[in-house]
Amino acid sequence: MSDLASRLDQFIDGRILCIGDLMLDRYIYGQVERISPEAPIPVLHTHRETATLGGAGNVVCNIAALGGKVDVIGVIGKDQAGEDIGAAFKALSGVTVSLISDASRPTTQKTRYVAGSQQLLRADRENAKPIERDIEEQIISLLPDAIESVKAVILSDYVKGVLTPKIISETIRLAKKAGIIVIVDPKGRNFARYKGASYLTPNRKELSEVAGSPITNVGEAEAAARALISDFDIDAVLVKLGAEGVCLVRKAQPALHLHTKAREVFDVSGAGDTVIATLTLALISRFDAVEAAELANIAGSIVVGKVGTASVTRDELQRELMHGEAQSAEDKIVGWSSIADIAERWRKQGLKVGFTNGCFDLLHPGHISLLRQARAACDKLVIGLNSDASVKRLKGKTRPVQNEAARSAVLASLVDVDNIVIFGEDTPLELIKIVRPDVLVKGADYTVDNVVGAPEVQSWGGKVVLAEIVEGQSTTKTIQKMKK
């Protein structure tokens, strides 16, 4: 495992072409406190909405999160959801997009209504009929140049009409001619249209449908996969078996069953996107088929612990390979981009996120009391820690006594602290905007009016908590005593 972790930097090599059904996944969060008098249904009092890329877009997000580069070909409607998809792609690093607008069909959109961590309803807006001939020809015209500049092609098929038989066959033909792999996340009962692909990644349900009988164990999965390999000239099949891991079946090779680590599952939506993204990146990055399947299996097991359409970062994958699921003290110290994702995941799980900040130089009982009170007011606590340069500006040339590495290591050892983020500014305002805490905690020597970030936190429905102060405790007084 540690050997695989040390080689994850190889993921930065090579581009991937992703073609498939693009979607926008909307999440509307709120609370249910009563039943409607109009009908026996809950009334959701909404307080927050998010929108993320779904379908083939989630595959792209996973490739980008793992450090890969990707070109995208897809179809959107001439509507707000299509514009939102375009904007979301622009925000991703290493992504080049070819979006074809079709005024005759809406952008596929799935809206989920969530109370706490419980999904109440999903509303879909889509047209799943095959795309018109002129749109199909536009996509086919893009293929030669697109395939020429990549090392692999992913076909992300959600059966929403973009991946017509003609587009699939032409993609596979051109890819084979160029000597690059084609990996398909298949749907439906007709797998014949994927004939000649390098890899298929069906889940248990999809494989059962095409096999015509339930897949109840690994042996049945292997038999069904070998039938696909034989019937449709497929090089390998990676069967996703949920809690039982994955089964890798290759031509003229023994099948390999890779188990997954047991963990709490919050949401399986999008896990297949994570698997195919990781598998493809690994295969083009000089990992062999077994190593690639192992990495994909681990990445899939991580993402089911998140809520909603999500992706796995290279740091998360590396941490899992090095340490397993248990979080070490070192893992608690994260960067700004990571904490934004972590805090959003907690909120999607219905957890209350807290934030407090300080220099925490020479930890004393006053600090411990503040942290305990802060942790009691929330489910997850994030600490904003002043950098050495920031402390020096605020406290004078002789401070800090301990550098930021030592201070963060001490904080990370405390059970009340979930994550630590170092900031270099004089105030944590920008970091607070990134974390978007539900609870902002400061000592009672402040008033709510002069707590940095209080107006922002209150604007999104959060609250400010003033913690009781332990009299006579301060780092400055401790230093003075030491000097005497």
Q: Which residues are catalytic?
A: 273
* Alpha-carbon span 357 to 452, nearest angstrom: 10
How many other C-beta atoms can be found within 10 angstroms of the C-beta atom of residue 368?
A: 14
Q: Are 228 and 200 in contact (CB under 8 A)?
A: yes
C-alpha 393: how far from its chain's center?
Answer: 37
Q: For residue 167, which amino acid is it?
A: I
In whole angstroms, give the CA distance from residue 365 to residue 376.
16
Q: Give the dihedral of Cα atoms 418, 420, 425, 430; nearest 10 deg.
A: -40
For residue 13, give every residue at least 6 positions away whose Cβ sits within 8 Å of its Cβ, in sequence order, or none.
284, 285, 286
The DSSP line for 413-482 is T-TT--EEEEE-SSSSHHHHHHH--SEEEEETTS-GGGSTTHHHHHHTT-EEEEEPP-TT--HHHHHHHH
| DSSP per-residue string spanning 69-131 | EEEEEEEEESSHHHHHHHHHHHTSTTEEEEEEEETTSPPEEEEEEEETTEEEEEEEE---SPP
Give CA–CA dist 146/296, Å, rounded.
25
**Rounded CA gap, 452 and 469, in Å?**
18
CB 279 within 8 A of CB 238: yes
The CA distance from 407 to 385, in Å, is 8
Residue 474 sits at the vertex; the CA angle it makes with 472 and 478, to the nearest 5 degrees, is 95
Question: Which of these, 462, 426, 470, 422, lies nearest to 441 by C-alpha position?
Answer: 462
Place of tokens 């998010």: 50
What are the beta bridge partners of residue 96?
Answer: 71
